Amino acid sequence: MPEALLWEHMTVNEVRDALQRTQTILVPLGVTEQHGYHLPLRTDCYNCEEISRRAADRTGVFVAPTLPYTYSGGELPGTINVSPHVVTQVIVEILHSLCLQGLRNIILVLGHGGSENDRATQEAAEIFLRNNPQFHDRNIAVFRFWVNSQVCRRAFEEGDFHSGWFETSLLLYWRPEVVRDEYVLDRPEVVKMMREDQDAYQVQMKNVDHPLVVPAVRQHPDIEVGVMGEPEKASAEIGREMTEEAVGALVELIEAMEQST
C-alpha cells in the first residue's frame, strides 16, 4: 500500500532512496490568521496539510513541510501577515530548491483562499517557469481545494466564506479537539456585509478623490470576530464529504502529472 512520504520526518538517505520511486511532491501553503473565536489561528494550515497527507497516502508521493506564514490581510489579534510579493519570492525559492533535487511534479496546495495570497502563489509558479527555462520539463500546479469540492462551492454560493460551516466542518472531521464551542458572530449588519462580499472586510481610504491615487486599505474597523458564515450549521459528516471530494481531485491531478513524466 502507498504511504505518504513526509519530508520533514525523513533523513537525507531516506529522501535519496525515495526519489528513485517518486519525483512528485505536494507543498502545503497555509497562513496564520484570525478564524473567529471557535477555530484556531492554524486552521488554514490544517486545511492544506490534511488534504495533502490524505492524497499522499493514496499515491505514495512526498509532502513538504507546511508553510505557515503567507498573507491574510486580516488585522485581528493573532494574525501574522507576510506581504504578497515576499510570499511570491519565498515560493519561487522553494520551487527552485525542489527542482534542483530532482522533483519533477510540484503541486502547491493552498489552504487559504484570500485573493491576494491566491495571486501571489499563482504568480510564483508562473514567474519561476518563465525565468528558469532549464526547468521547462517540470510540471507545477496550484491546487485550490475549495474549487474542487462541490460542497465548498455550495458554501460560497451561500456566502459562507471564512470560519463558517464549511471550514468548521473540515476541522470537526479531522481535528475536532481544536474546535471551540464559541460560535460568536459580529453585529448583524457586519455579518451581512461580509456574507455579501468576502472582500468587504477591507475598507479603502483616499486623501485625494482621483482615480490615479492609490487607496490605503485596512480591515474594516467594525469587525471584531471576523466570521463570514454560519458555523453552527457545521458537522463532521459535511467535513468528510468535502475532504473526499478534495482529496479525490488532488489524487487525479497527481496521477495526470505523473503519467506525463
- Averaged over 139-158, what is the pLDDT? 95
Contact status, residue 54 vs residue 73, Cβ threshold 8 Å: no
Which grid cell sits at 251? 489524487
Question: Could you report the per-residue pLDDT of 86-106, keeping only the tens digit for each?
Answer: 999 999 999 999 999 999 999
Helices marked H in the chain — which ranges? Answer: 12-18, 43-59, 84-100, 115-131, 150-157, 165-174, 188-196, 236-260
Residue 1 predicted with pLDDT over 80? no
Question: Could you report the per-residue pLDDT of 163-195, keeping only the tens digit for each?
Answer: 999 999 999 999 999 999 889 999 999 888 888
Q: What is the spatial distance between Cα 177 and Cα 156, in angstroms, rounded to a whole number?
A: 25
Q: What is the spatial distance between Cα 152 and Cα 232, in angstroms, rounded to a whole number?
A: 16
Question: Could you report the per-residue pLDDT of 24-47, keeping only the tens digit for each?
Answer: 999 999 999 999 999 999 999 999
Q: What is the spatial distance between Cα 170 and Cα 156, in angstroms, rounded to a whole number?
A: 15
Q: What is the pLDDT of residue 49?
A: 97
Q: What is the pLDDT of residue 6?
A: 98
What is the average pLDDT value for the chain, to the nearest integer? 95
Residue 82 predicted with pLDDT over 80? yes
**Of the candidates 78, 94, 91, 69, the residue with the CA atom closest to the CA atom of residue 35:** 78
Residue 200 predicted with pLDDT over 80? no
Q: What is the spatial distance between Cα 45 and Cα 174, in angstroms, rounded to a whole number?
A: 12
Domains recognised in the chain with CATH numbers? 5-260 (3.40.50.10310)
What's the one-letter identity of residue 6? Answer: L
Q: What is the pLDDT of residue 65?
A: 98
Q: Who's near 141: CB < 8 A, 6+ residues apart? A: 105, 106, 107, 108, 125, 253, 257
Q: What percent of the chain has pLDDT over 70?
A: 100
Residue 19's pLDDT band (cuts 50, 70, 90): very high
Q: Who's near 100: CB < 8 A, 6+ residues apart? A: none
Question: Could you report the per-residue pLDDT of 114-127, keeping only the tens digit for each?
Answer: 899 999 999 999 99
Residue the block writes with cell 520526518 = 9
Residue 134's pLDDT band (cuts 50, 70, 90): very high
